[in-house]
Amino acid sequence: MEKVKKKIGSFSFWNWVTASIIFRLILIYFPKNLNLSSRPEVSTPLTSFRRLAEGYWLKQSFMSPYAGSMYHGSPLLLSLLGPLTINRIEGQPNHLLYSLVSVIADVVSAMLIRATGQNLRLAYLRSLESLDLVKQIEVSGDIAALIYLCNPFTIVACVGLSTSPIENMAVILCLYGACSRLIPLAAFGWVIATHLSLYSAILIIPVIFLLGCGPDSPPRKLFLQRHQQKEVLNQSKLPPRFSWGPVIHFAFWAFLWSVYVLVLCGISLKQFGGLWEMFKSTYGFILTVEDLSPNIGVLWYFFAEVFEFFRNFFLIVFHVNILFMILPLAIRLRHRPCYLAFVYVAICSMLKSYPSVGDSALYLGLLGWFVNELADMQFSLFLFCGYVGVSLLSPVMHNLWIWRGTGNANFYFATAMVYACLQIVLVVEGVSAMLNHDRKLRNLITGKPQDAKS
């Protein structure tokens, strides 16, 4: 995962990009041996390729694609990707076209991550300059892009024919648009990401901060202190205050795009129950956790155990869990909207009802943006080993439970819990490392000895 970082020194960026693409293509040619598309880690009820094909088939035979509780994705995906599920080229592996689309989505995401990372780096350099600190910093965009491309999770999600590469691309598009102040693009990305997977909706907060005050920078207070010391208040060097103009602009575009998407969906589902049917079997399916087949999350086990009587109560508890964390994090990290977005994505992938490795791939990729800030993160080796261990142990436990019959559901759930804990440690340590970084900058400016510690 993070291993790529060091390799950049000696190998050029593009070599690694090509290598990762070639690796994907090789894996695509041996799909039968790997059988990745049926693994619970890769394909959830929302992202499964087989369900997509089923939905398309239902639609082609003039039935509602949501009949039989098979398909739970967007109707737009059916129209765009559906034809690829049945098109075959003679002599080539099945689903080659679809796999190629996933590969392209991955590459595009990586390029967008790179561009955003360069943006962030420029912003960081600018703010350091205005604080009169010199620092040699990493090319975080390249690192982040390579982490995203070479991450085994991304590769597995891509080769396993899940739709998460496309969902991830929408999220990254949104962040890219917001960082480069392309407001219509950001709005488009946000609307599509929310449409594909409900949880991306909370990204609206980082996007608003991004549009309102620009990309990540040290806290505003710091600049003021710095300039008070020098006793020259240079307004041009200060980061801009929050401006409402772009936000209203964004809201307008978001409204426009969502109306557009809803109209398209309405047209495609005209005979099959309309939009209400869509909301019920996409968002409703996500929120009520109807499918309790095992996945790498923790909700399936809990809701398999819970009494029907309390089900609604716990559904509310679990979903509010995410909402609870939004506000405190937004207040604490408001000066770093991109980092805020990373934290939100990580929290969502931990608490969402049908998580897959594709979600982890996204936040691990975004983590690469902050290599400079997180240089002193604690427990990095522990986290790395934990991720490696869990991603190896989880399929073994699944095998033990399902195929050998010697284990039981608790075995598999144990790895899911460990995985959730790892993600929690990652988020907690990441946030505290970021806050420490800010504190360190403040100490450097005010000249205090650096012993501050949470």
Partner 1 sequence: MAETKEKSLSDEKPKPRVRPIVRLGIFLISHSFLVSIVCCTAGVLALFLLPVLAKNTYISENALMPGSASPMLSNQHVSDGNRLVKDLTNPNSKSSETGIESHKIIAQYMLDLGAEVSFHKFHPQMNQFHPLHFFSSPVSGKIQENYSCSSYGINTVGIIRAPRGDGKEAIVLVTPYNALKSGFGEALSLGIAYSVFSLLTQVTWLAKDIIWLVADSQYGEYAAVAAWLREYQTPKFSSLSTPNAEMCPDVNNLFELKGHSISGSKFSNSFRRAGTMAAALVLKVRDQNEQFEDTISIYAEASNGQMPNLDLINVVNYLAVHRQGLRVNVEKLWPLLNSSWLKSLGEIFESLAKVAKSLYPKWKFGIPATEYVEGTATLASSLYYQALGVPTGPHGAFRDYQVDAITLEISPKFSLDKVWRNDILLRGGRLIEGVIRSVNNLLEKFHQSFFLYLLTSPSKFVSVGVYMIAFALLIAPLPMVAASLYVDANSSSNCSKGDSSTPSAITDTDEHGIAIRSWRWLNSAKLVFIVHLWGAIVSLLPYFISQIPDCSPTTSFMIWVLLSILSLLTLNSVLASPLACAKATQEKEWALVKSVTISSVFIGLGLMSVINFATAEIGALLMVPMCLLARPLKLDVRAGTLRSFCRLICNLVLGHIAFPPAAFFLLKGMLDGFGNANVGDFWMWVESLWAWNSATYLFIGMVQLPCWVLCVSILFHTC
d(CA 127, CA 110): 25
Q: Which residue in 115, 201, 395, 421 binds partner 1 (CB under 8 A)?
A: 395
Least distance to partner 1, CB of residue 385, Å: 5
Annotate 30-94 with three-state secondary structure. Answer: CHHHHCHHHCCCCCCCCCCHHHHHHHHHHHHCCCCCCHHHCCCCCHHHHHHHHHHHHCCCCCCCC
126 binds partner 1 (CB under 8 A): no
169 binds partner 1 (CB under 8 A): no
Compare residues 62 and 403 and give the one whose CB is closer to partner 1. 403
328 binds partner 1 (CB under 8 A): no
Chain centre distance of CA 285: 20
Measure the N-to-C terminal CA separation of the chain; round to a whole number of Å: 28
235 binds partner 1 (CB under 8 A): no
381 binds partner 1 (CB under 8 A): yes
Q: Which residue in 37, 111, 380, 418 binds partner 1 (CB under 8 A)?
A: 380
Q: How many CB atoms lie within 10 A of CB 326?
A: 15
d(CA 377, CA 384): 12
Q: Which stretch binds partner 1 (CB under 8 A): 156-164, 170-178, 229-237, 401-409?
A: 401-409
Least distance to partner 1, CB of residue 226, Å: 14
385 binds partner 1 (CB under 8 A): yes
Q: Which residue in 146, 183, 371, 422 binds partner 1 (CB under 8 A)?
A: 371
Encoded tokens for 48:
């499964």
Rounded to the nearest 5°, which phi and psi values hold at 353? -75, -35
Q: Which stretch binds partner 1 (CB under 8 A): 43-51, 176-184, 270-278, 433-441?
A: 433-441
Q: Which residue in 22, 26, 122, 133 binds partner 1 (CB under 8 A)?
A: 133
Q: Which stretch binds partner 1 (CB under 8 A): 66-74, 220-228, 239-247, 381-389?
A: 381-389
User: In this structure, are residues 93 and 103 in contact, taking their beta carbons and an 8 Å threshold?
Assistant: no
Least distance to partner 1, CB of residue 3, Å: 6
Site for partner 1 in 4-23 (CB under 8 A): 5-7, 9-10
Binding mask 84-123 for partner 1 (x = CB under 8 A): ----------------------------------------
Least distance to partner 1, CB of residue 398, Å: 9
Least distance to partner 1, CB of residue 127, Å: 14
Least distance to partner 1, CB of residue 337, Å: 23
Compare residues 325 and 393 and give the one whose CB is closer to partner 1. 393
Compare residues 41 and 167 and give the one whose CB is closer to partner 1. 41
Nearest alpha-carbon partner for 173 in 217, 108, 123? 108
**DSSP designation for 298:** S
Q: Which stretch binds partner 1 (CB under 8 A): 45-53, 128-136, 232-240, 358-366?
A: 128-136
Compare residues 309 and 403 and give the one whose CB is closer to partner 1. 403
Q: What's the one-letter identity of residue 261?
A: V
Site for partner 1 in 434-453 (CB under 8 A): 436-437, 439-440, 444, 450-451, 453
Give me the long-range contacts of 432-439 (CB less than 8 A, separation at least 24).
432/378, 433/373, 433/374, 433/376, 433/377, 433/378, 434/333, 434/336, 434/339, 434/370, 434/373, 434/374, 435/332, 436/376, 437/373, 437/374, 437/376, 438/218, 438/219, 438/222, 438/335
Binding mask 32-71 for partner 1 (x = CB under 8 A): xxxx------------------------------------
384 binds partner 1 (CB under 8 A): yes
d(CA 57, CA 20): 33
Site for partner 1 in 280-319 (CB under 8 A): none
Q: Which residue in 60, 122, 135, 221 binds partner 1 (CB under 8 A)?
A: 135
Compare residues 308 and 405 and give the one whose CB is closer to partner 1. 405
Q: Which stretch binds partner 1 (CB under 8 A): 81-89, 117-125, 127-135, 341-349?
A: 127-135
Give me the long-range contacts of 114-117 (CB less than 8 A, separation at least 24).
114/141, 114/142, 114/144, 114/145, 115/141, 115/176, 115/180, 116/141, 116/172, 116/175, 116/176, 116/179, 116/180, 116/338, 116/369, 117/141, 117/142, 117/143, 117/144, 117/145, 117/368, 117/369
User: In this structure, are residues 423 and 350 in contact, taking their beta carbons and an 8 Å threshold?
Assistant: yes
- Which residues contact partner 1 (rule: CB under 8 A)? 2-3, 5-7, 9-10, 32-35, 133-136, 138, 371, 375-378, 380-382, 384-385, 388-389, 392-393, 395-397, 399-400, 403-406, 411, 433, 436-437, 439-440, 444, 450-451, 453
